[in-house]
Chains A and B, each alone.
Chain A
Amino acid sequence: MKTRSITIYVNGEAYSLNVAVNRTLLQVLREDLGMPDTKYGCGTGECGACTVLIDGKKSILACLSLAVLMDGAKITTVAGLETEGKLHPVQEAFVNEGAIQCGYCTPGMVMKSVSILAKYPKPTEEDIRRELEGNICRCTGYVKIVQAIQKAGDALASTC
């Protein structure tokens, strides 16, 4: 087949599209759905700028996902993290800890951080650093990003 009809759920909304088989999820999000919050950084799976979540917790790379094989998938992008204008604790922590400089890696980095905390509710610093691999930041040296994830973890734990 050269095209396929799919329905994907992005940030809680259903989108039905007819997509060429060679289009990645990244292209579909940014171009077909007009959602530029997920970024292109390398296209080959190294930088993590295109990280989105499946079922709210599993991190995958949109640049290496064929859109047509994502029929029925429940996808969260960074724009879908806020609830009624209130930032997600991870977003809050990134802002408050100074973990954002140029902001280009931020969408993927935030999504990855959410998935880390979903898997490791009380992560050690080693857990965080190990799990952050696959998301490249060239501005922060990762220092305040690690601090932000620790703070966000504390915040999420205290609301349980």
Chain B
Amino acid sequence: MSSRILPEFDLLVPQSIPEAVEMLTKYQDKAAVMAGGTDLLVLMKSGLKVPYIVSLSEVPGLDYVIYDPNDGLRIGAMATLAQVADNADIKKNYAALWESAAVNGTPQTRNRATVVGNILRASPAGDCCAAALALGGKVVLQGAAGKREVDIDHFWVAYRTTARQAFEFAVEYRIPANVGKSAFKRMTRADQDLSKLNAAVCLNMSGNVCQGARLAIGCVAPTTVRMKKAEEILKGKEITDSVLKEVEEAVKGEVTPIDDVRSSAWYRKEVSGILMKRTIQKACA
């Protein structure tokens, strides 16, 4: 385990999607898929041993960010956080994702790290994970049998575990059009930091009334989760101070955080409702 010397591994550099699929079909869970590498290489420097790395960096056509007002947003596996943070359409229409990409990591890591990679990493602290869960959408997986889509709601199955099978890889994350007003907020120790708490919301508003809400919160469970009780409270209501107070209490009651080096279970529980309330207020602003 050394921050200067990587362990030995076999590198596979497919030149096309079919080639990548072939490699994964062959090596399955002996292989790790690498997009930007900013997560994987750090894990390997901390001792993770991986016999094969399948790098997507030379597969053409995976770095797209395509927005269509009718079809929605499609983000390719190699599209970086910097590309998303520089995109005015995303800032306007998917503010939660824009914000999460703009604050995650550092400018240098954002030039390499990917949205899809953040989702695949499946850390409950993942900033793009919180945004994705609030915005909804699907992860598109490619295997030998072709493409399949998994709803983001079913994508994280356990701590750092996704619905991806070892013989497939994620090619895209897509979100429908007109998802509503969204926002992302987080709490950290220093400004540049892994989140100790993060939240994202997406509100389907009809005038002043909230027809439906997706409220996502991270760092309080083994995966990013939705606050379903709190979402019910908002349904069909105007977002008043008293409604927000109810949401705050519901979230506080729903979360089950733990102590870790970044924060405490007590603190996360105390402020989770407040963070959610403020994220909703931000979306409405």
Kindly state whether residue A61 has any CB partner on chain B within 8 Å.
Answer: yes
A48 in contact with B106 given A66-B11, A66-B37, A69-B55 (CB within 8 Å): yes
The interface-forming segment of B108-116, B124-132, B143-151, B177-185 is: B108-116
Give the secondary structure class of A's interface: mixed
Chain A CB within 10 Å — which of B2, B10, B108, B192 has the most?
B108
Q: Which residues of B contact A4 (CB under 8 A)?
A: 11, 13
A64–B11 CB distance below 8 A = no
A27–B107 CB distance below 8 A = no
B3–A44 CB distance below 8 A = yes
For the complex formed, measure the closest distance between the CB of A159 and the CB atoms of chain B, giving whole angstroms. Answer: 24
A45–B42 CB distance below 8 A = yes
B10–A134 CB distance below 8 A = no
B191–A133 CB distance below 8 A = yes
Q: Which residues of B contact A68 (CB under 8 A)?
A: 11, 13
Closest to A70 in B: B57
Q: Which residues of B contact A60 (CB under 8 A)?
A: 108, 111-112
B38–A45 CB distance below 8 A = yes
Which of A22, A45, A54, A61 is within 8 Å of B9, CB to CB? Answer: A22
Q: Which residues of A contact B9 (CB under 8 A)?
A: 21-22
B108–A112 CB distance below 8 A = yes
A64–B107 CB distance below 8 A = no
Kindly state whether residue B58 has any CB partner on chain A within 8 Å.
Answer: yes
For the complex formed, measure the closest distance between the CB of A31 and the CB atoms of chain B, giving whole angstroms. Answer: 10
**How far is it, in angstroms, between the C-alpha of A23 and the C-alpha of B13 when the chains are bound?**
15
For the complex formed, measure the closest distance between the CB of A111 and the CB atoms of chain B, giving whole angstroms. Answer: 10
B37–A133 CB distance below 8 A = no
B45–A133 CB distance below 8 A = no
Kindly state whether residue A51 has any CB partner on chain B within 8 Å.
Answer: yes
List chain B positions with a Cβ less than 8 A from chain A: 2-13, 37-38, 41-42, 45-46, 55, 57-58, 105-109, 111-112, 191-192
List chain A positions with a Cβ less than 8 A from chain B: 1-2, 4, 21-24, 26-27, 40, 42-46, 48, 51, 54, 58-61, 63-66, 68-69, 112, 115-116, 131, 133-135
- Top 5 closest pairs, chain A to chain B, by CB: A134-B106, A43-B3, A21-B11, A133-B192, A22-B6
21 intermolecular pairs with C-beta atoms under 8 Å apart: A1-B10, A1-B11, A1-B12, A1-B13, A2-B8, A22-B7, A24-B6, A43-B45, A45-B42, A45-B105, A48-B106, A51-B108, A54-B111, A58-B111, A59-B107, A61-B38, A68-B11, A115-B107, A131-B107, A133-B192, A134-B192
Give 9 new A-B contacts, CB below 8 A, not counting A46-B106, A48-B106.
A2-B10, A21-B10, A22-B11, A24-B41, A40-B4, A43-B3, A45-B106, A45-B109, A134-B107
